[in-house]
Amino acid sequence: MGFGGSVQAMITSLKNNKRDRKTIYDDKNRPNDSGYGKFESDKKLSPEDFKKFREQLKANRRRHQQKVSIVFGIIMLVIIAVVSYFLFLY
């Protein structure tokens, strides 16, 4: 019967010794900004400039995709060559 009393004493002790835990999310007065600051552009692009910019982005993306494809193809050729060497030579 002493078990119930000791458990209750433990719970009471934990409640009395409980400290107030603060997290970074609890501070409401803290400014909510990033380390780099807010991005604000004061420049407005004309429709022609925006079209050129978009085409340049597409070209850069296409060029990057081609480079990735070439590197992937070379790596796959090397892997296939090594596997076929070990399969047919031994």
pTM of structure: 0.47
Most confident of the following: 6-10, 25-29, 79-83: 79-83
Residue 14 has pLDDT above 60, yes or no: yes
The larger pLDDT score, comparing residue 2 to residue 28, is at 28
Rounded to the nearest integer, the mean pLDDT of the chain is 84
Q: Residue 62: name the closest of 79, 70, 17 by CA.
A: 70
User: In angstroms, how far is CA 20 from the centroid of its own chain?
Assistant: 32
Residue 22 has pLDDT above 80, yes or no: no
Grouping H, G, I as helix, E, B as strand and the rest as coil, residue 1 is coil
Residue 30 has pLDDT above 70, yes or no: no
pLDDT of residue 20: 76
pLDDT of residue 15: 86
